[in-house]
Amino acid sequence: MVDRRIPKVRDLAPLMQFKAPDLNSKRRRLESALTIADLRTIAKRRTPKAAFDYTEGAAEGEISLARARQAFEDIQFNPAILRDVLKVSTGWDVLGAPVAMPFGIAPTGFTRMMQTEGEIAGAGAAAAAGIPFSLSTMGTTAIEDVKAANPHGRNWFQLYMWKDRDRSMALVDRAAAAGFDTLLVTVDVPVAGARLRDKRNGFSIPPQLTLGTVVNALPRPEWWINFLTTEPLAFASLDRWSGTVGELLDSMFDPTVTFDDLAWIKAQWPGKVVVKGVQNVLDARRLADLGVDGIVLSNHGGRQLDRAPIPFHLLPEVVREVGSEYEVHLDTGIMSGADIVAAVALGARFTLVGRAYLYGLMAGGREGVDRMIQILSDQIIRTMRLLGVTSLEELTPEHVTQLERLIPRARAAAAERV
Protein backbone atom coordinates (compact mmCIF):
# COMPACT_ATOMS: atom_id res chain seq x y z
CA MET A 1 0.00 0.00 0.00
CA VAL A 2 1.35 3.45 -0.96
CA ASP A 3 0.93 6.23 1.59
CA ARG A 4 -0.45 9.40 0.02
CA ARG A 5 -0.51 13.01 1.25
CA ILE A 6 -1.59 16.41 0.09
CA PRO A 7 1.40 18.12 -1.61
CA LYS A 8 2.84 21.12 0.20
CA VAL A 9 3.52 24.46 -1.49
CA ARG A 10 7.28 24.16 -0.95
CA ASP A 11 7.20 20.83 -2.81
CA LEU A 12 5.33 22.34 -5.75
CA ALA A 13 7.42 25.50 -6.09
CA PRO A 14 10.36 23.90 -7.95
CA LEU A 15 7.91 22.43 -10.45
CA MET A 16 6.22 25.76 -11.17
CA GLN A 17 9.21 27.58 -12.71
CA PHE A 18 8.17 28.40 -16.26
CA LYS A 19 10.65 29.43 -18.91
CA ALA A 20 10.00 32.84 -20.38
CA PRO A 21 8.92 32.55 -24.03
CA ASP A 22 11.46 33.55 -26.66
CA LEU A 23 9.82 36.07 -28.98
CA ASN A 24 12.51 35.61 -31.65
CA SER A 25 10.96 33.02 -33.96
CA LYS A 26 14.19 32.29 -35.86
CA ARG A 27 16.12 31.65 -32.66
CA ARG A 28 13.30 29.44 -31.36
CA ARG A 29 13.22 27.22 -34.40
CA LEU A 30 17.00 26.92 -34.64
CA GLU A 31 17.42 26.10 -30.96
CA SER A 32 14.82 23.36 -31.39
CA ALA A 33 17.07 21.70 -34.00
CA LEU A 34 19.23 19.09 -32.29
CA THR A 35 20.42 17.24 -35.40
CA ILE A 36 21.07 17.95 -39.07
CA ALA A 37 17.87 16.03 -39.79
CA ASP A 38 16.00 18.58 -37.67
CA LEU A 39 17.52 21.41 -39.73
CA ARG A 40 16.45 19.57 -42.87
CA THR A 41 12.86 19.43 -41.62
CA ILE A 42 12.84 23.17 -40.98
CA ALA A 43 14.49 23.86 -44.34
CA LYS A 44 11.89 21.84 -46.22
CA ARG A 45 9.11 23.74 -44.53
CA ARG A 46 10.57 27.13 -45.47
CA THR A 47 11.91 26.57 -49.00
CA PRO A 48 10.05 26.14 -52.30
CA LYS A 49 10.07 22.59 -53.63
CA ALA A 50 12.27 23.19 -56.67
CA ALA A 51 15.03 24.86 -54.66
CA PHE A 52 14.84 22.33 -51.83
CA ASP A 53 14.88 19.40 -54.24
CA TYR A 54 17.97 20.81 -55.97
CA THR A 55 19.76 20.49 -52.62
CA GLU A 56 18.15 17.24 -51.54
CA GLY A 57 18.21 15.35 -54.80
CA ALA A 58 20.79 13.19 -56.52
CA ALA A 59 21.17 11.49 -59.90
CA GLU A 60 18.66 9.10 -61.44
CA GLY A 61 17.40 6.66 -58.78
CA GLU A 62 19.49 8.38 -56.06
CA ILE A 63 21.07 5.04 -55.18
CA SER A 64 24.59 6.45 -54.78
CA LEU A 65 23.46 8.91 -52.14
CA ALA A 66 21.38 6.36 -50.24
CA ARG A 67 24.30 3.91 -50.18
CA ALA A 68 26.72 6.59 -49.00
CA ARG A 69 24.48 7.46 -46.08
CA GLN A 70 23.85 3.81 -45.29
CA ALA A 71 27.60 3.23 -45.14
CA PHE A 72 27.90 5.64 -42.23
CA GLU A 73 25.00 3.98 -40.46
CA ASP A 74 26.64 0.59 -40.96
CA ILE A 75 29.54 1.19 -38.61
CA GLN A 76 30.29 -0.03 -35.14
CA PHE A 77 32.27 2.17 -32.79
CA ASN A 78 34.71 0.43 -30.47
CA PRO A 79 35.16 2.61 -27.37
CA ALA A 80 37.84 2.47 -24.72
CA ILE A 81 36.86 3.07 -21.10
CA LEU A 82 38.32 4.76 -18.04
CA ARG A 83 40.11 7.51 -19.95
CA ASP A 84 40.38 11.14 -18.84
CA VAL A 85 38.35 12.94 -21.52
CA LEU A 86 37.67 16.22 -19.73
CA LYS A 87 39.55 18.21 -22.36
CA VAL A 88 39.13 17.37 -26.04
CA SER A 89 40.96 18.93 -28.99
CA THR A 90 39.14 18.87 -32.35
CA GLY A 91 41.71 20.73 -34.45
CA TRP A 92 44.89 19.97 -36.37
CA ASP A 93 46.67 21.07 -39.54
CA VAL A 94 45.07 20.55 -42.94
CA LEU A 95 47.05 21.39 -46.06
CA GLY A 96 49.68 23.12 -43.98
CA ALA A 97 47.45 25.38 -41.88
CA PRO A 98 45.32 24.89 -38.76
CA VAL A 99 41.60 24.14 -38.69
CA ALA A 100 39.45 24.16 -35.57
CA MET A 101 37.50 21.07 -36.61
CA PRO A 102 38.03 18.29 -39.16
CA PHE A 103 35.32 19.53 -41.52
CA GLY A 104 34.71 22.47 -43.79
CA ILE A 105 31.95 23.82 -45.98
CA ALA A 106 31.83 22.15 -49.39
CA PRO A 107 31.43 24.09 -52.64
CA THR A 108 27.76 24.38 -53.60
CA GLY A 109 26.23 25.85 -56.75
CA PHE A 110 23.36 28.34 -57.03
CA THR A 111 23.52 28.85 -53.28
CA ARG A 112 21.53 32.09 -53.09
CA MET A 113 18.71 30.22 -54.77
CA MET A 114 18.38 28.18 -51.57
CA GLN A 115 18.40 31.22 -49.27
CA THR A 116 19.17 34.80 -50.15
CA GLU A 117 22.19 35.22 -47.83
CA GLY A 118 23.97 32.47 -49.74
CA GLU A 119 27.74 32.19 -49.69
CA ILE A 120 28.16 35.27 -47.49
CA ALA A 121 26.40 33.42 -44.67
CA GLY A 122 28.55 30.33 -45.23
CA ALA A 123 31.83 32.23 -45.41
CA GLY A 124 31.01 34.29 -42.33
CA ALA A 125 30.03 31.24 -40.31
CA ALA A 126 33.18 29.41 -41.41
CA ALA A 127 35.31 32.36 -40.37
CA ALA A 128 33.71 32.45 -36.92
CA ALA A 129 34.21 28.70 -36.48
CA GLY A 130 37.79 28.55 -37.76
CA ILE A 131 37.05 26.16 -40.62
CA PRO A 132 37.56 26.50 -44.41
CA PHE A 133 34.87 27.75 -46.77
CA SER A 134 34.77 26.57 -50.38
CA LEU A 135 33.35 28.73 -53.17
CA SER A 136 32.02 26.88 -56.21
CA THR A 137 32.64 27.93 -59.80
CA MET A 138 28.83 27.86 -59.94
CA GLY A 139 28.45 29.89 -56.77
CA THR A 140 26.24 32.97 -56.65
CA THR A 141 28.62 35.39 -54.92
CA ALA A 142 31.70 37.02 -56.38
CA ILE A 143 35.11 35.74 -55.36
CA GLU A 144 36.06 39.11 -53.91
CA ASP A 145 32.86 39.34 -51.84
CA VAL A 146 33.51 35.93 -50.29
CA LYS A 147 37.00 37.08 -49.35
CA ALA A 148 35.51 40.19 -47.74
CA ALA A 149 33.15 38.00 -45.70
CA ASN A 150 36.03 35.77 -44.56
CA PRO A 151 39.06 38.08 -44.75
CA HIS A 152 41.38 36.22 -42.36
CA GLY A 153 40.14 32.64 -42.68
CA ARG A 154 40.66 29.75 -45.09
CA ASN A 155 38.99 30.29 -48.46
CA TRP A 156 39.13 27.53 -51.08
CA PHE A 157 38.07 27.92 -54.72
CA GLN A 158 36.47 24.98 -56.52
CA LEU A 159 37.23 24.83 -60.24
CA TYR A 160 35.25 23.21 -63.02
CA MET A 161 37.24 23.29 -66.24
CA TRP A 162 35.09 24.79 -68.97
CA LYS A 163 35.27 24.50 -72.71
CA ASP A 164 36.34 28.16 -72.60
CA ARG A 165 39.62 27.54 -70.79
CA ASP A 166 40.74 31.15 -70.83
CA ARG A 167 37.62 32.05 -68.89
CA SER A 168 38.23 29.21 -66.44
CA MET A 169 41.77 30.33 -65.75
CA ALA A 170 40.66 33.94 -65.40
CA LEU A 171 38.60 32.77 -62.41
CA VAL A 172 41.62 30.93 -61.03
CA ASP A 173 43.68 34.12 -61.35
CA ARG A 174 40.98 36.12 -59.52
CA ALA A 175 40.88 33.58 -56.69
CA ALA A 176 44.67 33.67 -56.36
CA ALA A 177 44.68 37.48 -56.37
CA ALA A 178 42.01 37.48 -53.64
CA GLY A 179 44.17 35.28 -51.43
CA PHE A 180 42.32 31.96 -51.68
CA ASP A 181 44.78 29.37 -50.39
CA THR A 182 43.54 26.14 -52.00
CA LEU A 183 42.23 25.15 -55.43
CA LEU A 184 39.71 22.28 -55.47
CA VAL A 185 39.78 20.87 -58.99
CA THR A 186 36.59 18.87 -59.48
CA VAL A 187 37.06 16.07 -62.00
CA ASP A 188 33.86 13.99 -61.89
CA VAL A 189 31.67 16.25 -64.07
CA PRO A 190 32.62 15.74 -67.73
CA VAL A 191 28.88 16.08 -68.32
CA ALA A 192 25.95 16.77 -66.03
CA GLY A 193 24.37 13.88 -64.17
CA ALA A 194 20.70 13.06 -64.76
CA ARG A 195 19.13 14.93 -61.86
CA LEU A 196 15.55 13.89 -62.39
CA ARG A 197 14.02 15.96 -59.60
CA ASP A 198 15.24 19.14 -61.28
CA LYS A 199 13.79 18.08 -64.63
CA ARG A 200 10.45 17.16 -63.11
CA ASN A 201 10.33 20.43 -61.18
CA GLY A 202 11.35 22.44 -64.25
CA PHE A 203 14.13 23.92 -62.12
CA SER A 204 15.75 26.71 -64.12
CA ILE A 205 18.05 29.69 -63.63
CA PRO A 206 16.40 32.07 -62.87
CA PRO A 207 13.32 30.25 -61.46
CA GLN A 208 10.28 30.47 -63.69
CA LEU A 209 6.91 31.41 -62.25
CA THR A 210 4.32 28.77 -63.14
CA LEU A 211 1.00 27.86 -61.57
CA GLY A 212 2.78 25.11 -59.66
CA THR A 213 5.53 27.37 -58.30
CA VAL A 214 2.99 30.00 -57.27
CA VAL A 215 0.89 27.44 -55.38
CA ASN A 216 4.02 26.02 -53.74
CA ALA A 217 5.15 29.52 -52.75
CA LEU A 218 1.96 30.51 -50.93
CA PRO A 219 2.97 28.97 -47.57
CA ARG A 220 6.58 30.23 -48.02
CA PRO A 221 6.20 33.99 -48.55
CA GLU A 222 9.46 34.91 -46.78
CA TRP A 223 11.56 33.05 -49.37
CA TRP A 224 9.87 34.85 -52.25
CA ILE A 225 10.00 38.23 -50.54
CA ASN A 226 13.73 37.79 -49.97
CA PHE A 227 14.28 36.57 -53.52
CA LEU A 228 12.34 39.41 -55.15
CA THR A 229 13.59 42.26 -52.95
CA THR A 230 17.33 41.51 -52.90
CA GLU A 231 19.97 41.74 -55.61
CA PRO A 232 19.26 39.47 -58.60
CA LEU A 233 21.34 36.32 -58.71
CA ALA A 234 24.89 37.07 -59.84
CA PHE A 235 27.22 34.14 -60.37
CA ALA A 236 30.86 33.87 -59.47
CA SER A 237 31.52 32.74 -63.01
CA LEU A 238 28.85 33.92 -65.46
CA ASP A 239 26.49 36.79 -65.95
CA ARG A 240 23.17 35.12 -66.63
CA TRP A 241 21.53 31.99 -67.92
CA SER A 242 18.06 31.09 -69.08
CA GLY A 243 17.46 27.35 -69.05
CA THR A 244 17.70 24.28 -66.85
CA VAL A 245 20.68 23.58 -64.63
CA GLY A 246 21.58 20.46 -66.61
CA GLU A 247 21.58 22.40 -69.88
CA LEU A 248 23.83 25.01 -68.31
CA LEU A 249 26.35 22.43 -67.10
CA ASP A 250 26.42 20.55 -70.40
CA SER A 251 26.96 23.79 -72.33
CA MET A 252 29.91 24.82 -70.17
CA PHE A 253 31.85 21.80 -68.91
CA ASP A 254 34.70 20.32 -70.90
CA PRO A 255 34.55 16.51 -71.31
CA THR A 256 38.09 16.37 -72.73
CA VAL A 257 40.05 17.23 -69.55
CA THR A 258 42.93 14.80 -68.84
CA PHE A 259 45.75 14.29 -66.34
CA ASP A 260 47.94 16.45 -68.57
CA ASP A 261 45.45 19.32 -68.22
CA LEU A 262 45.49 18.84 -64.47
CA ALA A 263 49.27 19.16 -64.40
CA TRP A 264 48.95 22.36 -66.45
CA ILE A 265 46.41 23.80 -63.99
CA LYS A 266 48.60 22.85 -61.03
CA ALA A 267 51.58 24.67 -62.53
CA GLN A 268 49.59 27.91 -62.65
CA TRP A 269 48.18 27.91 -59.11
CA PRO A 270 50.40 29.34 -56.35
CA GLY A 271 48.72 27.56 -53.43
CA LYS A 272 47.63 24.04 -52.56
CA VAL A 273 45.89 21.89 -55.19
CA VAL A 274 43.36 19.23 -54.18
CA VAL A 275 41.54 17.00 -56.68
CA LYS A 276 37.89 16.35 -55.84
CA GLY A 277 35.89 13.46 -57.23
CA VAL A 278 38.34 10.54 -56.88
CA GLN A 279 36.53 7.19 -56.93
CA ASN A 280 39.14 4.44 -57.23
CA VAL A 281 42.50 3.45 -55.80
CA LEU A 282 44.47 3.64 -59.06
CA ASP A 283 43.45 7.25 -59.70
CA ALA A 284 44.32 8.13 -56.11
CA ARG A 285 47.80 6.65 -56.57
CA ARG A 286 48.32 8.46 -59.87
CA LEU A 287 47.31 11.81 -58.39
CA ALA A 288 49.62 11.35 -55.43
CA ASP A 289 52.46 10.57 -57.84
CA LEU A 290 51.55 13.67 -59.86
CA GLY A 291 52.22 15.76 -56.78
CA VAL A 292 48.81 17.24 -56.01
CA ASP A 293 48.59 18.15 -52.33
CA GLY A 294 45.53 16.06 -51.55
CA ILE A 295 42.48 14.29 -52.92
CA VAL A 296 38.81 14.23 -51.99
CA LEU A 297 37.14 10.84 -52.18
CA SER A 298 33.73 11.87 -53.47
CA ASN A 299 30.98 10.80 -55.82
CA HIS A 300 29.66 14.38 -55.93
CA GLY A 301 27.03 13.73 -53.32
CA GLY A 302 25.50 11.09 -55.58
CA ARG A 303 24.65 13.80 -58.11
CA GLN A 304 26.62 12.49 -61.09
CA LEU A 305 26.96 8.73 -61.73
CA ASP A 306 24.32 6.72 -59.93
CA ARG A 307 25.57 3.45 -58.37
CA ALA A 308 29.01 5.04 -58.03
CA PRO A 309 31.53 3.74 -55.47
CA ILE A 310 30.88 4.64 -51.84
CA PRO A 311 33.62 7.07 -50.73
CA PHE A 312 33.55 5.94 -47.08
CA HIS A 313 34.06 2.32 -48.16
CA LEU A 314 36.99 3.33 -50.39
CA LEU A 315 38.71 5.29 -47.64
CA PRO A 316 40.75 2.57 -45.84
CA GLU A 317 42.06 1.04 -49.06
CA VAL A 318 43.04 4.41 -50.53
CA VAL A 319 44.84 5.44 -47.34
CA ARG A 320 46.79 2.17 -47.36
CA GLU A 321 47.76 2.79 -50.99
CA VAL A 322 48.89 6.44 -50.74
CA GLY A 323 50.17 6.35 -47.16
CA SER A 324 48.88 7.95 -43.99
CA GLU A 325 51.00 11.08 -44.49
CA TYR A 326 49.23 11.95 -47.74
CA GLU A 327 46.08 14.02 -47.26
CA VAL A 328 42.91 12.14 -48.13
CA HIS A 329 39.70 14.10 -47.66
CA LEU A 330 36.14 12.78 -47.88
CA ASP A 331 32.64 13.92 -48.68
CA THR A 332 29.22 12.47 -49.61
CA GLY A 333 26.67 11.24 -47.10
CA ILE A 334 27.95 13.04 -43.99
CA MET A 335 25.04 13.98 -41.75
CA SER A 336 26.49 13.94 -38.23
CA GLY A 337 29.61 14.56 -36.21
CA ALA A 338 29.83 10.82 -35.60
CA ASP A 339 30.19 10.32 -39.36
CA ILE A 340 33.12 12.76 -39.34
CA VAL A 341 34.80 11.01 -36.39
CA ALA A 342 34.46 7.66 -38.18
CA ALA A 343 36.05 9.10 -41.33
CA VAL A 344 38.99 10.54 -39.39
CA ALA A 345 39.49 7.25 -37.56
CA LEU A 346 39.77 5.42 -40.89
CA GLY A 347 42.37 7.84 -42.22
CA ALA A 348 40.62 10.93 -43.58
CA ARG A 349 42.48 14.13 -42.77
CA PHE A 350 39.45 16.27 -43.49
CA THR A 351 35.80 16.13 -44.56
CA LEU A 352 33.46 18.44 -46.45
CA VAL A 353 29.75 18.96 -45.76
CA GLY A 354 27.42 20.24 -48.46
CA ARG A 355 23.81 19.30 -47.87
CA ALA A 356 24.14 19.75 -44.10
CA TYR A 357 25.39 23.29 -44.73
CA LEU A 358 22.53 24.08 -47.12
CA TYR A 359 19.94 22.68 -44.70
CA GLY A 360 21.25 25.09 -42.09
CA LEU A 361 21.26 27.96 -44.57
CA MET A 362 17.68 27.28 -45.67
CA ALA A 363 16.56 26.88 -42.06
CA GLY A 364 17.86 30.24 -40.89
CA GLY A 365 20.45 32.01 -43.03
CA ARG A 366 23.72 32.82 -41.29
CA GLU A 367 22.34 31.78 -37.90
CA GLY A 368 21.25 28.48 -39.42
CA VAL A 369 24.76 27.80 -40.72
CA ASP A 370 26.15 28.66 -37.28
CA ARG A 371 23.70 26.19 -35.77
CA MET A 372 24.74 23.48 -38.26
CA ILE A 373 28.39 23.94 -37.31
CA GLN A 374 27.55 23.87 -33.60
CA ILE A 375 25.53 20.65 -33.97
CA LEU A 376 28.37 18.88 -35.79
CA SER A 377 30.97 20.23 -33.37
CA ASP A 378 29.01 19.07 -30.32
CA GLN A 379 28.53 15.64 -31.88
CA ILE A 380 32.24 15.33 -32.70
CA ILE A 381 33.27 16.19 -29.14
CA ARG A 382 30.69 13.89 -27.56
CA THR A 383 31.61 10.98 -29.84
CA MET A 384 35.32 11.41 -29.14
CA ARG A 385 34.71 11.45 -25.39
CA LEU A 386 32.57 8.35 -25.55
CA LEU A 387 35.30 6.62 -27.57
CA GLY A 388 37.86 7.54 -24.91
CA VAL A 389 40.01 9.86 -27.05
CA THR A 390 41.01 13.48 -26.48
CA SER A 391 42.51 14.42 -29.86
CA LEU A 392 42.07 13.60 -33.53
CA GLU A 393 45.53 12.03 -33.54
CA GLU A 394 44.33 9.37 -31.09
CA LEU A 395 41.62 8.13 -33.47
CA THR A 396 42.66 4.92 -35.25
CA PRO A 397 41.00 2.28 -37.44
CA GLU A 398 40.59 0.19 -34.29
CA HIS A 399 37.90 2.61 -33.15
CA VAL A 400 35.64 1.79 -36.12
CA THR A 401 34.35 -1.41 -37.66
CA GLN A 402 32.72 -1.08 -41.09
CA LEU A 403 29.82 -3.53 -41.10
CA GLU A 404 29.40 -4.94 -44.59
CA ARG A 405 25.94 -4.82 -46.11
CA LEU A 406 26.97 -4.63 -49.77
CA ILE A 407 29.80 -7.13 -50.36
CA PRO A 408 31.07 -7.37 -53.96
CA ARG A 409 30.19 -10.73 -55.44
CA ALA A 410 33.80 -11.85 -56.00
CA ARG A 411 34.67 -11.15 -52.39
CA ALA A 412 31.58 -12.96 -51.17
CA ALA A 413 32.52 -16.07 -53.18
CA ALA A 414 36.07 -16.01 -51.82
CA ALA A 415 34.73 -15.71 -48.27
CA GLU A 416 32.55 -18.77 -48.80
CA ARG A 417 35.54 -20.82 -50.00
CA VAL A 418 37.47 -19.90 -46.85
Runs of H (alpha helix) within 163-279: 165-177, 196-201, 211-217, 221-229, 245-252, 259-268
Task: Please list the residues that pair with 44 across neighbouring strands.
Answer: none
| Residue 394 to residue 399: CA distance in whole angstroms | 10
DSSP for 25-57?
Answer: HHHHHHHT--SHHHHHHHHHHHS-HHHHHHHH-
Which one from 152, 300, 329, 399 is the annotated catalytic residue?
A: 300
* Residues, the chain: 418
Give 385's Cβ-side CA count (13 Å radius): 11
State yes or no: is 313 an active-site residue. Answer: no
The bridge status of strand 97-99 relative to strand 92-94 is antiparallel
The bridge status of strand 155-159 relative to strand 133-136 is parallel
Amino acid identity, residue 349? R
Runs of H (alpha helix) within 254-388: 259-268, 281-290, 311-322, 337-345, 355-387
Catalytic residues: 300
